[in-house]
């Protein structure tokens, strides 16, 4: 970091406010954490192993994928490859946040990325698009989602029989609807619509014809290329 670059200081009061801002969505995370806790118990993990996985990994889809491979004759490398593929979108999410994060001290910069999720990334990206740098939502929102995931995992381990099928309640649609609302709340123009459409079409094509979980990265890259060369290019004099 350039010593003359101003350092961004996280505001504790704002972190607390963003914690409560994402509290409603965290309630649904509890339900899915409970589903993971139940699945982990059924897969043969001890309560301690289940909670440690949720504490250190904090990646729902990856944890479920790991459970699918648990107990089979699968070496560590294929398991790592699957988890990396599922979470590869974080490479793009982290890169998109660099303009916001570069004025943070290195320790804080990588520290808050430990609690980066789709939800708090979407809110931070929308706020930045609207001219407001909001790193506190990454930290505060990430903490409440992490705690909700831990609480849900704990409940699932010990009381999972009460929530056999969270999808029957439609809870699996909540995060998708939340992210869609964030997208619709951003800038509105025909060019932005084209970028989103290209991303959606590329993602669907990859979902049908490419290896599993690559559709997330393919869609993001396709939309990003359109956004960079067309949207940013349109701003040049």
Q: From the first residue on, what is the mean pLDDT of each consecutive set of 10 residues in the chain (237 residues)? A: 62 96 90 87 90 92 82 73 78 84 87 92 87 92 96 90 60 57 58 76 86 72 72 50
Whether 22 and 136 map to the same domain: the answer is yes
Q: What pLDDT score was predicted for residue 163? A: 58
Domain end point (choices 186, 205, 220)? 186
- Residues 181, 191 within the same domain: no
Same domain? 214 vs 168: no
Burial bucket for residue 85 (CB in 10 Å: 0-12, 13-18, 19+): middle
Specify whether 138 is located in the same domain as 22. Answer: yes
Helices (H), the chain: 12-21, 23-42, 47-56, 60-69, 76-87, 89-96, 98-101, 106-113, 118-129, 136, 142-159, 174-184, 190-209, 214-226
Identify whether 5 is part of a domain: no
Is 2 part of any domain? no
Query: What does the pLDDT read at residue 6?
Result: 55
List own/partner pairs for 122-128 with CB under 8 A and 24 or more apart.
122/178, 122/179, 122/182, 122/183, 123/21, 123/22, 123/182, 124/97, 124/100, 125/96, 125/97, 125/182, 126/182, 126/185, 126/186, 128/99, 128/100
Is residue 4 assigned to a domain?
no
What is the pLDDT, as a whole number, of residue 207?
A: 83
Q: What is the per-residue pLDDT for 20?
A: 96
Q: Specify the DSSP class assigned to residue 230.
A: I
Residues 134, 25 share a domain: yes
Side-chain half-sphere CA neighbours of 86 within 13 A: 17
Residues 54 and 96 in one domain: yes
Range of the domain at 230: 187-237
Name the token pair of 204.
Answer: 């669907």
Residues 211 and 142 in one domain: no
Please say which residue of 166, 186, 206 terminates a domain: 186
Residue 6 domain flag: no
| HEC profile of 128-161 | HHCCCCCCHHHHHHHHHHHHHHHHHHHHHHHHHH
> In terms of domains, do 193 and 167 share one?
no
Residue 68 domain-assigned? yes
Would 104 be classed as within a structural domain?
yes
Residue 216 and residue 69: Cα distance in Å, rounded? Answer: 21
Return d(Cα 49, Cα 39) in angstroms, integer. Answer: 12
CB 119 within 8 A of CB 145: yes
Same domain membership, residue 179 and residue 196? no
Asked if the structure places residue 1 within a domain, the reply is no
So what's the pLDDT on residue 70?
A: 78
Residues 6+ apart with CB under 8 A from 86: 59, 61, 62, 65, 213
Distances (CA, A) of 64 to 20, 25, 50, 59, 167: 27, 20, 11, 9, 14
Q: In total, how many domains does the chain have? A: 2
Instruction: Look at residue 4 in the predicted model and tell me its pLDDT.
Output: 43
Q: How far is residue 94's CA from residue 220's CA, in Å, rounded to a whole number?
A: 13
- Kindly state whether residues 138 and 31 are assigned to the same domain: yes
Kindly state whether residue 7 falls inside one of the protein's structural domains: no
Q: Are residues 60 and 70 in the same domain?
A: yes
Closest to 34 measured CA to CA, from 63, 66, 70:
63
- 95 & 150 share domain: yes
The pLDDT, as a whole number, for residue 237 is 47
What is the structure's pLDDT at 160? 73
* Residues in the chain, total: 237
């Amino acid at each position: 970091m350039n010593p003359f670059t101003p350092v961004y200081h996280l505001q504790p009061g704002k972190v607390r406010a963003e914690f409560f801002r994402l509290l409603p969505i965290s309630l649904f995370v509890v339900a899915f954490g409970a589903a993971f806790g139940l699945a982990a118990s059924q897969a043969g993990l001890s309560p301690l192993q289940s909670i440690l996985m949720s504490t250190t990994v904090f990646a729902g889809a990856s944890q479920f994928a790991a459970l699918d491979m648990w107990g089979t004759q699968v070496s560590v490398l294929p398991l790592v490859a699957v988890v990396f593929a599922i979470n590869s979108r974080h490479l793009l999410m982290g890169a998109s946040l660099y303009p916001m994060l570069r004025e943070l001290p290195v320790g804080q910069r990588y520290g808050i990325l430990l609690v980066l999720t789709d939800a708090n990334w979407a809110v931070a990206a929308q706020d930045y698009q609207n001219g407001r740098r909001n790193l506190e939502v990454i930290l505060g929102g990430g903490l409440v989602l992490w705690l909700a995931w831990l609480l849900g995992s704990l409940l699932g381990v010990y009381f999972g029989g009460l929530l056999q099928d969270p999808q029957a309640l439609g809870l699996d649609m909540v995060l998708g609807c939340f992210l869609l609302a964030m997208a619709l709340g951003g800038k509105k123009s025909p060019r932005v619509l084209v970028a989103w459409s290209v991303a959606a079409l590329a993602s669907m094509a990859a979902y049908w014809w490419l290896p599993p979980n690559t559709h997330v990265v393919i869609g993001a890259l396709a939309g990003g290329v359109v956004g960079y060369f067309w949207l940013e290019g349109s701003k040049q004099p």
